[in-house]
Amino acid sequence: MTAETTKKGYVYLIGAGPGDPGLITVKGRDCLAKAQVVMYDYLANDELLRLAPKGAELIYAGKVGGEHNREQSQINELLVQKALSGKVVARLKGGDSFIFGRGGEECEALVAEGIPFEIVPGITAAVGATSYAGIPLTHRGVTTSVAFVTGHEKKGKASSEIDWEGLSLGSGTVVFYMGVTNLPHIAQSLMEHGRAPETPVALIRWGTRPEQEVLVGTLADIADKARAAGFKAPAITVVGEVVNLRETLRWFDNRPLFGRSVLVTRGADQAGEFTSMLEQLGARAYCCPTIEIAAPESYAALDEAIEGLDSFHWIIFTSYNAVKYFFARLDEHGLDSRALGRCHVCAVGPKTAAALAPYGIRPDLIPADYKAEGVVAAFSEMDMNGKWVLFPKGDRAREVIPEELTRLGAQVIAPVAYANHTPSGIPEEALLALEEKRIDCATFTSSSTVQNLAGILGENRFLHLMEGVTVASIGPITSKTCRDLGLDVHMEPAEFTLEALSREMISFFGGK
């Protein structure tokens, strides 16, 4: 893109892929990051809009209530208008723009006005959706050819442009786009022109997404099956013997939590790991941060402790955030982990221990029970009389450790290293999923996550929205808080880790 071309604007025609936001190309992602205007379609995943710069103008050009929001001519005009105003425009289209995406028509409009543009190919639905359904489009010994066909032709045509005879007589795979409504006609036309009634057929709806649905049948019965199942668009239809390979190659929609919607209430800075874990298991994770971690009102007490670090025998870390904020403050003082000297280190569990690893520290103690009571139990087996203990904590931390270690004779200094704030609201997507009863399971990884969600929503609304939702709690302290707020707890792992909580969810939902 040159200075000359940007005077007239520039358009990137980007294929967004079939649904999974991870399937957008690297180039597509990079082009989105340059956009001043993003025009996006019904089938383009909303998560991709987060790749656009803050402040970019977002224009929806898809469907409303099943009908097209704008005519194609209006989209063309708007593209031209935005580009002529000097804007960099990202035209984000589901799948690939040049495969039943009408991208060619949009490019023709740009050419007519002398507007420079660039095509960024995407993964089309026939490739993405069939891969996620475990159906190869070609396979040695089965078929060596594939055809992509529109499932609905323009109304009012005197005759069909589809070569039904050519599609029917070969053994190749045929993929129909947007053909659910015309499924009876498609199946009948193929059989009338020679395709065997027992030919396998698969319908794939919302391919590559957590909502993916696959219905398998034959040309003879697929229309009746779809009608009975209430199978609706958006979907593609796959015809051919390769459909039989799904039984062997299925990998995406048979994962243990596939189709389950899970509310993740961890803080935004820590939700990613758990969200990724759930998505790998097939769940759809709704991020709903109920905690915001920030610096404390004052670092005075922590600074004083850092100045006297060489006097401490032990330092206890009970969270990732305690590690993060303590070492950040240490750095502010021009110090690093060497400042701990001979001070022994206790980490409440393996995740906190992992947070210490980048600082070159291996904990001297990890209690068997990953909670405050476990820390106390471990120290009760030692002679703590006269020992100095530093416990950098959050502003809402329970007083179990300071009180109990003091009772054991230790001198405990517990400065606040970070503060927990309650967000003013929860993400709209998560709230809508709760209101529409689409959440199967809500996960709570601390008492604060439960208390804050109830506080954000209001107790009555909280209980109403949580009706029928399975509750997964990280451990007994969190479970007690859930019950105190009126929730039933359905899952609580014996080990208080995210991995154990995930395994518990697999076990719980495995038989349902």
Domain ranges in the chain are 8-123, 127-249, 261-291+424-510, 294-420
Catalytic status, residue 232: no
pLDDT at residue 193, rounded to an integer: 95
Q: Is a pLDDT exceeding 50 seen at residue 342?
A: yes
Catalytic status, residue 41: yes
| pLDDT above 90 as % of the chain | 84
Smallest CA-to-CA distance from 119 within 132, 99, 103, 102 is with: 103
Mean local confidence (pLDDT), 207-216: 94
What is the edge-to-edge ordering of all strands in the sheet holding 146-150? 146-150, 173-177, 235-239, 200-205, 213-218
- Within this chain, domains 261-291+424-510 and 294-420 share the same CATH topology: yes
225 forms beta bridges with none
Catalytic residue among 8, 178, 369, 480: 178
Cα dist. 490→271, 297, 470 in Å? 21, 38, 6
Mean local confidence (pLDDT), 253-265: 95
**How many other C-beta atoms lie within 10 A of the C-beta of residue 56?**
20
CATH 3.40.50.10090 assigned to domain 261-291+424-510? The reply is yes
CATH 3.40.50.10090 assigned to domain 294-420? The reply is yes
Q: Which CATH number fits domain 8-123: 3.30.360.10, 1.10.1060.10, 1.10.150.120, 3.40.1010.10?
A: 3.40.1010.10
pLDDT at residue 153, rounded to an integer: 63
Catalytic residue among 8, 63, 324, 480: 63
pLDDT, averaged across the chain: 92
CATH 3.30.413.10 assigned to domain 127-249? The reply is no
Give the phi and the psi of residue 261 in degrees, each rounded to 5.
-105, 125
pLDDT in tens, 420-459: 899 999 999 999 999 999 999 999 999 999 999 999 999 9
Catalytic residue among 7, 27, 34, 41: 41
Q: Is a pLDDT exceeding 70 seen at residue 320?
A: yes
pLDDT in tens, 129-169: 999 999 999 999 999 999 999 987 654 555 678 999 999 98
pLDDT band at 110, cuts 50/70/90? Answer: very high
Catalytic status, residue 383: no
User: Does residue 476 have a cis bond before it (omega within 30 degrees)?
Assistant: no
Tokens of 261: 């919607």
